[in-house]
Amino acid sequence: MSNRKRLRQGPPPAPTARRIVPIVVAFAVGALLAGPVGVVSAGAGDPAGERVSALRAEEAKRDVAQVVELTAHARRVQESLLPVLDGLAAAVPVGKAPGPATSMSTVEQWQVVTGKAVDDFADPPSGGTGVNVARSGLAAAVRALDGAVDTYAAALAQPPAAHASLFALAGRQRDTAVATWSSAATQLDVLNVDAGNGHVHVFLPAAPGQGALAADGAPEGK
């Protein structure tokens, strides 16, 4: 027998050597599909995750308290602004020519009321996004109304011939204030419903043509 024939008839490779590669490949594929070992179970009892959950719970509790506080604040401001809005409605009717000029002493009283409302919304506390949006909208509304009163006061200091245009400008500023407040009041209503307080309608009186949102008609507290 030749040496070549003896080499062909030598013992075959060990069968275990052929299985190693498929087993390793299968393990690697399984590991890729399953993800890193221990990642899924690491969240359970994770101190960082528990701390985040606790912070979120604290923020939610804070926001609920701020919704109650902001609603009470909005009601107080709303009530204080009603005489100003009634006076402006007579002096600058919506969609109509301005009425007789209001006395400066009355307008100065309006300025005291609107100026205090602006100050009351200064330096607000930090809250959640929804609360901040509602508070910012209310603050913007009272600033616009304060500007309308200042414009009316400035008109009274001008000759009567200039009154009409300046009174009309004060009316447009007043309309912007009412519309802005209505958007914030709608947001405040949503916040109260989400907090479990039911509907809360803290709207300023509006007339057709002012572009203001109206209350949804749902009963208060429901």
d(CA 173, CA 210) in angstroms, rounded, equals: 10
Mean pLDDT across 68-83? 97
pTM for the model stands at: 0.75
The residues near 133 (Cβ < 8 Å, ≥ 6 apart) are 184, 187
CATH 1.20.120 describes domain 60-194: yes
Domain ranges of the chain: 60-194
Q: What is the pLDDT of residue 16?
A: 44
CB 81 within 8 A of CB 204: yes
| Least confident segment among 10-19, 137-146, 171-180 | 10-19
Q: What is the pLDDT of residue 156?
A: 97
CB-CB neighbours of 43 under 10 Å = 10
Burial label, 193 (beta-carbon count in 10 A; 0-12, 13-18, 19+)? middle
